[in-house]
């Protein structure tokens, strides 16, 4: 094993220093699966630390899925943890929009609506009204916080989510991903800890990692993150924030219960940290019950609320907003400035009218009808595959999250489907600690009903074929 360096002047408990370094050795491949770690006593002696330091480090490695213990034998590195390079390869291959989608391929991977659903004429008119009204001012640098009238419109718009705020805490951004990036820039310093759900949105992980953050996963139950595990990790790691997708979670489709939402806010307050709430789809509910963002429960000003207009309205707009806790407003402003100075004025002004004149209401109503039909259709078809797949019907959003029975790996299923011109997303990429999984995500966002039919047929064909073939089964991980 590489040398572990203990720095007693560092403001980090010793067991965490040991943990972090062994974790890195595993992630960069210098310790591979099956490797036996030194005994507790010998490592403690080598490092000049107490046994308890090493015990705590090993325990944490085990909790986070990096090592396992064989009783009476020792501690071993887990199999199947992917190296950084392999992850990168995955990223460039598979994520949304980044797979070169060939003509004729049925796209169950997309997270955006098909372009026929965008209200082009309506928006074109708004743009022309703005050009006529504001002339060159629409093309100037805008206030970095965002065009004032748009912030006013947003303030009114979020009342439908039972969020009340002032325009001073609203920061306009060029889409949800930029929101995550701006928050990361403002809050994450090298080696800070961040807590995420297991699984979660992969490009949020990429943004946190790019800032040098230590990512910690907490298990996701059916009603939201495991509160006990969350509290334990909050206590232990003092993270900069907790990144959550409380409604129509990506990739699992889960909605947090009201109780869980309240609990999360309480924990953030108790441990003096923040929750970064990524709301990309709360407008796309297919049930009667009222589903509110976490921010609506935020009585302590601990929730950083990011709302993207891209997914549900038009991706090409590149528009969204952050509602920031008051303490964080100015650091977000500076981060936004460093990121791209300001968001396109023309788009902001046109979107202001779109909100201000309630044009979005009609649009979202029509859209929901179309998407709901796709959602029901896909659900119905997937029911016929219950021999091969387990899944819960989500309450909204874009995705079904499928567990493949018989331990067929997601990557295999992905490849076989692609051969037959169906694109799905292997679950592997939604985990901070990369392992092969038997989960896949399928989306109905951009598919017409007949495409859903065809896609499910392909999936069925592949699943049937797979379970008869040999050599494609994987050990349970």
Could you say which of 17, 75, 96, 438 contacts a copy of itself (CB under 8 A)? 96
What are the backbone angles phi and psi of residue 325, rounded to the nearest 5°?
-55, 145
Distance, in Å, from the CA atom of 165 to the CA atom of 327, rounded to the nearest integer, reads 14
By C-beta, is 33 or 316 nearer to a copy of itself?
Answer: 316
Residue span binding a copy of itself (CB under 8 A) among the ranges 69-77, 86-94, 231-239, 250-258: 86-94
Contact between 56 and a copy of itself by CB under 8 A: the answer reads no
Count, residues in the chain? 477
According to CB under 8 A, which one of 224, 345, 396, 455 is a site residue for a copy of itself? 345
Q: With respect to a copy of itself, which residue has the nearer C-beta, 103 or 135?
A: 135
Say whether residue 78 binds a copy of itself (CB under 8 A).
no
- Taking the C-alpha atoms of residue 174 and residue 310, their distance in angstroms, rounded to an integer, is 9
What are the phi and psi torsion angles at 32 (to 5°)?
-105, 170
Q: Are 310 and 317 in contact (CB under 8 A)?
A: yes
- 335 touching a copy of itself, by CB under 8 A: yes
Nearest distance, CB of residue 118 and a copy of itself, angstroms: 4
Cβ-based nearer residue to a copy of itself, 143 or 376: 143
* Cβ atoms within 10 Å of 318's Cβ, excluding its own: 18
Interior angle at CA 280, CA 364 and CA 253, nearest 5:
100
Give the Cα separation of 224 and 71 in Å (integer). 33
Closest CA to 321 of 308, 312, 339, 311: 308
Give how far Cα 308 sits from Cα of 147, 179, 304, 351, Å. Answer: 16, 8, 13, 13
Q: Does 189 bind a copy of itself (CB under 8 A)?
A: yes
φ, ψ dihedrals at 29, nearest 5°: 85, 0
Does position 330 interact with a copy of itself (CB under 8 A)? The reply is: yes
Q: Which is nearer to a copy of itself, 296 or 353 (CB)?
A: 353
Number of chain positions touching a copy of itself (CB under 8 A): 67
Check if the beta carbon of residue 193 is closer than 8 Å to that of residue 239: yes
The interface region with a copy of itself, picked from 28-36, 272-280, 313-321, 390-398 by CB under 8 A, is 313-321
Q: Does 88 bind a copy of itself (CB under 8 A)?
A: yes
Residue 434 as a binder of a copy of itself (CB under 8 A): the answer is no
**Binding residue for a copy of itself (CB under 8 A) from 118, 321, 391, 444?**
118
Q: What does residue 284 show for φ and ψ, rounded to 5 degrees?
A: -100, 60
Does position 333 bind a copy of itself by CB under 8 A? yes
DSSP 106-174: EESS--S--GGGS-HHHHHHHHHHHHHHHGGGGGSPPPTT--HHHHHHHHHHGGGGT----GGGEEEES
Residue closer to a copy of itself by CB (options 106, 206) is 206
Which residue, 16 or 230, is less far from a copy of itself as judged by CB?
A: 16
Question: How far apart are the C-alpha atoms of 34 and 103, rounded to whole Å?
Answer: 43
Which positions from 156 through 175 interact with a copy of itself, judged by CB under 8 A?
174-175
Q: By CB under 8 A, is residue 107 in contact with a copy of itself?
A: no
Site for a copy of itself (CB under 8 A): which residue of 107, 153, 207, 273? Answer: 207
Which range binds a copy of itself by CB under 8 A, 118-126, 150-158, 222-230, 451-459? 118-126
Identify which of 282, 285, 303, 286 has the alpha carbon closest to the alpha carbon of residue 294.
303
Q: Rg (Cα) of the chain, in Å, rounded?
A: 24
Minimal distance, residue 59 CB to a copy of itself, in Å: 25
Spatial distance between the Cα atoms of 358 and 318, rounded to a whole number of angstroms: 20
Residues 257-286: x/- map of binding to a copy of itself (CB under 8 A)?
Answer: ------------------------------
* 343 in contact with a copy of itself (CB under 8 A): yes
Rounded to an integer, what distance in angstroms lies between the CA atom of residue 93 and that of residue 106?
17
- With CB under 8 A as the contact rule, the residue among 34, 73, 104, 141 that binds a copy of itself is 141
Q: Using CB under 8 A, which of the segments 62-70, 271-279, 308-316, 447-455 binds a copy of itself?
A: 308-316
Under 8 Å between Cβ of 215 and 64: no
Positions 210 through 229 that interact with a copy of itself (CB under 8 A): 210, 212
Note whether 48 binds a copy of itself by CB under 8 A.
Answer: no
Instruction: Give the SS3 label for residue 401.
Output: strand
140 contributes a contact to a copy of itself by CB under 8 A: yes
Question: In this complex, which beta carbon is closest to a copy of itself, that of residue 239 or of residue 315?
Answer: 315
CB 65 within 8 A of CB 477: no
Residue 334 is a binding residue for a copy of itself (CB under 8 A)? yes
Site for a copy of itself (CB under 8 A): which residue of 99, 105, 117, 364?
117
Contacting residues toward a copy of itself, per CB under 8 A: 3, 5, 7, 9, 88, 91-92, 95-98, 112, 114-118, 120, 123-124, 127-128, 131, 135-144, 174-175, 177-178, 181, 185, 189-190, 203, 206-207, 210, 212, 310, 314-318, 330, 333-335, 337-347
């Amino acid at each position: 094993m590489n040398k572990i360096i203990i720095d007693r002047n560092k403001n980090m408990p010793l067991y965490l220093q040991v943990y972090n370094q062994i974790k890195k050795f595993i992630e960069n491949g210098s310790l591979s699966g099956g490797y036996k770690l030194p005994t507790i006593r010998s490592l403690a002696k080598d490092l000049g630390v107490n046994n308890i330091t090493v015990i705590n480090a090993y325990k944490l490695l085990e909790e986070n899925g990096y090592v396992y213990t064989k009783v009476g034998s020792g501690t071993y590195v887990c199999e199947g943890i992917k190296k950084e390079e392999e992850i990168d390869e995955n990223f460039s291959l598979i994520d949304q929009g980044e797979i070169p989608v060939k003509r004729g391929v049925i796209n169950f991977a997309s997270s955006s609506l098909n372009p026929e659903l965008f209200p082009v004429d309506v928006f074109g008119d708004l743009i022309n009204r703005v050009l006529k009204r504001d002339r060159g001012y629409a093309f100037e640098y805008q206030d970095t916080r965002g065009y004032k009238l748009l912030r006013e419109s947003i303030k009114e718009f979020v009342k439908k989510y039972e969020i009340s705020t002032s325009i001073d805490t609203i920061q306009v951004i060029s889409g949800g991903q930029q929101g995550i990036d701006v928050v990361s820039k403002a809050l994450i310093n090298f080696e800070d800890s961040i807590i995420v759900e297991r699984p979660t949105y992969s490009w949020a992980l990429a943004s946190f990692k790019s800032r040098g953050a230590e990512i910690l996963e907490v298990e996701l139950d059916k009603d939201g993150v495991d509160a006990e595990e969350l509290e334990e990790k909050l206590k232990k790691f003092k993270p900069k924030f907790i990144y959550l997708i409380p409604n129509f979670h990506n990739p699992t489709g889960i909605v947090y219960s009201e109780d869980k939402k309240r609990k999360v806010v309480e924990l953030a307050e108790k441990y003096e940290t923040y929750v970064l709430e990524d709301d990309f789809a709360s407008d796309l509910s297919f049930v009667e019950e009222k589903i509110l963002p976490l921010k609506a429960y935020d009585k302590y000003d601990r929730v950083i609320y990011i709302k993207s207009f891209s997914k549900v309205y038009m991706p090409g707009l590149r528009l969204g907003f952050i509602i920031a806790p008051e303490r964080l407003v100015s650091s977000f402003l500076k981060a936004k400035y460093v990121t791209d100075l300001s968001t396109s004025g023309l788009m902001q002004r046109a979107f202001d009218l779109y909100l201000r004149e309630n044009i979005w209401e009609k649009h979202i109503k029509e859209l929901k009808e179309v998407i709901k039909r796709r959602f029901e259709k896909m659900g119905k078809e997937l029911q016929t595959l219950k021999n091969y797949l387990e899944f819960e019907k989500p309450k909204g959003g874009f995705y079904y999250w499928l567990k493949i029975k018989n331990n067929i790996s997601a990557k295999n299923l992905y490849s076989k489907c692609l051969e037959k011109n169906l694109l799905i997303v292997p679950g592997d990429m939604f985990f901070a600690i990369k392992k092969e999984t038997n989960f896949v995500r399928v989306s109905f966002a951009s598919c017409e009903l007949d495409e859903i039919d065809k896609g499910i047929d392909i999936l069925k064909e592949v699943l049937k074929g797979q379970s008869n073939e040999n050599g494609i089964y994987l050990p349970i991980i």
